[in-house]
Amino acid sequence: MNNTLSQTWRIFLQLLKREAYVYRKQFSRYAINYGLIYPFLYAIAFAYIQSRAYFGETNFAMSTLLFSGNIIIPLMGTAFHITFDVFFDLLGNKFITYQTTILKPRLVILARILFAWLFVFCLMIPFYPFAKILLGNLLDTSATNWFYVVLVLWGSSLMCISYHMLAAVFFTHTDDIEILWARINLPIFTLGGFWIPRHIVYEFSPLLGNLLYINPATYVTEGLRQAIIGGPDYLSIHTCIVALFAFSTFFTLLTWHAFKKRIDHI
Amino acid sequence: MQHMPHTWHDNMRIFLVLLQRDMKMLKNKLRSMLIDIFITTTIEILTFGSFFPLLGLPHEKIAPLYIGSAFALLIFYQGYIFSMNLLDEIPHFRATHMEYQLTLPLPKSWLFTEYILYFIIETFIITIPVILVGVWFLQSAFATMQGHWLLFFFIDIVVLVFSGIFFFALAFLFDYFWFRDNIWARCLSWFFNLSAIFSTWYAIQATSPFFAQLFLLNPFTHTTEILRAALLGQKGYLPIGWSLGAILLYSILGIIVARHGIYKQLDPV
């Protein structure tokens, strides 16, 4: 019994090592694209130009509010790219089916999710510090709790990875990628706080504002706004972290189910 | 057997058959595309018409923001999809539909013009509802509209021609894997974010003259500003003549780049 467990654990670690080996060479590309380019462009476009053009030159609160939620796009983009390697693998070589012959399919999926989680989390950490260096006072961090920022990013990375892993296993055609972004991801991140926080949506329509509780992106942006700006307008860190992990668990369970249906493993 | 040169008439006949075939394909996917557009439009109207004003966005800025962030950006996003689809069609590793079409007795310039024409038609059909519905729902924001719909439609076509050429050239210019991995982050996001899509050019100038001058080099600044000027009136936007000149210049540049890319990808000998 112990032998089997230790063997399973060894194979699981080998899979993680294999993932690290595969993505090692791509890390610098991901880091440049998502860790540097996105915060640089969003800092200029949204915090420096857009907020000042719309809300006045000295409205630092607004530039911080707008910029705080912008991370949702690079976060979802990175998660999409790394998890959709599984999607293309399932369409083509089906290497993952070989992995399921040496380890339980659920653990194979779990290894992929765990590695991708760590990978995306590392890529997203420099987003706000880098933007702070660029923006200076325009990004008001006087009330920022950096530990909470990292904590929310940690939970957000897991949620985005498990969500996109579900999509990667669930969808079966390349045309579905367009559907995923146009019909699902666009509403998720636009209504989920890319620009607009939840309390503004609630002010417009309490029904829509309450509906946003079932949008996982809401907890990413609300958690980050709470950690960066703070105050009673945003959901509490505790709520966001619990919700992010609950969504992650839910998406992982669905992924297991969809993976079972997809490859019909025993 | 002596090779018979193809006449303009022969070329046109094949061109029209190809276009007809594409239109049939469009008919099949139109419903799905309109659903996508319906979702996008609803969200954009809510965001720019209702949520942003609650944040304190001045009323007069809603219309130019909607034209840039909802309408123009959608055209460019469709261009990106066109580019991605084209990239898969270029016979890099496997036989594709384009490979077959290249064997047809039709000059490449005609074949690729048909691709761009189809993009223009498709994008026009699916983006026009965004502006019509937007203007209707955001009546109060568009109330001071001083442009002309006919001029707007003409300018829209000009912008679509430029977009078709630009995104066509992009697909041929870069290596397959580089395009897949980096085109959005290292190329398009720079074009989109460092332009006048999210704010009008004069608003950018008031905020940062340096960036305003820099953004003038970006063709997407001109395409967005010209759409605003055509629908909302000239006041407050870059002069239509300037933007038209810039778009023409960038279109010619796009054709040169596309020719280079086509040679690189399809004529390796």
- In angstroms, the CA B115 to CA B122 distance is 11
Sign for the pseudo-dihedral over CA of B92, B94, B98, B103: positive
> Do B54 and A178 lie within an 8 Å CB cutoff?
no
Residue in chain A lying closest to B199 (CA): A50
- In angstroms, the CA A92 to CA A81 distance is 16
Q: How far is B13 from chain A (nearest CA, A)?
A: 31
User: Which pLDDT belongs to residue B1?
Assistant: 45
Q: How far is B105 from chain A (nearest CA, A)?
A: 31
Nearest to B192 by CA among A217, A156, A164, A50: A50
Residue among A42, A183, A196 minimizing CB distance to B36: A183
> Do A49 and B204 lie within an 8 Å CB cutoff?
yes
User: Which pLDDT belongs to residue A1?
Assistant: 60
- In angstroms, the CA A158 to CA A161 distance is 5
- Whether residue B73 contacts residue B192, with contact meaning beta carbons closer than 8 Å, is answered with yes
Residue among A45, A55, A178 minimizing CB distance to B81: A178
Residues in chain A within 8 Å Cβ distance of B54 = 200, 203-204
DSSP B6: P
Per-10-residue mean pLDDT, chain B, length 269 = 69 94 93 91 94 92 94 95 92 83 90 96 94 94 87 96 97 92 93 95 94 96 97 94 97 96 81
Q: ipTM score of the complex? A: 0.89
Residues in chain B within 8 Å Cβ distance of A53 = 199-200, 203-204, 206-207
- Whether residue A62 contacts residue A50, with contact meaning beta carbons closer than 8 Å, is answered with no
Give the residue carrying structure tokens 């607009």. A196
> Do A187 and B43 lie within an 8 Å CB cutoff?
yes
Residue among A41, A46, A196 minimizing CB distance to B189: A41
- In angstroms, the CA B23 to CA B75 distance is 19
Nearest to A147 by CA among A248, A50, A228, A35: A228
Q: How far is B220 from chain A (nearest CA, A)?
A: 14
Low-confidence ranges of chain A (pLDDT < 70): 1-2, 265-266
Task: Provide the number of CB pairs (under 8 Å) joining chain A to chain B.
Answer: 99
Query: Each residue of A18-43: pLDDT tens digit?
Result: 999 999 988 999 999 999 999 999 99
Q: Residues of A numbered 145-204 whose beta carbons fall under 8 angstroms of chain B's beta carbons: which are they?
A: 178-179, 182-183, 186-187, 190-191, 195-196, 200-201, 203-204
DSSP B68: I
User: Which pLDDT belongs to residue B185?
Assistant: 92
The region, left, alpha or beta by phi > 0 then psi within -120 to 50, assigned to residue A103 is beta
Q: How far is A224 from chain B (nearest CA, A)?
A: 18
Residues in chain A within 8 Å Cβ distance of B190 = 37, 41
A124 interface with B at CB cutoff 8 Å: no
Chain B residues with CB within 8 Å of chain A CB: 32, 35-36, 39-40, 43, 46-47, 50-52, 54-58, 61, 65, 81, 181-182, 184-186, 189-190, 193-194, 198-200, 203-204, 206-208, 211
Residues in chain A within 8 Å Cβ distance of B81 = 178
Which residues have C-beta within 8 Å of that of residue B50, sequence separation ≥ 6?
A: A204
User: Which pLDDT belongs to residue B16?
Assistant: 95
Read off the pTM. Answer: 0.90
> Do B185 and A57 lie within an 8 Å CB cutoff?
no
> Do B198 and A200 lie within an 8 Å CB cutoff?
no
> Do A200 and B81 lie within an 8 Å CB cutoff?
no
Residues in chain A within 8 Å Cβ distance of B200 = 53
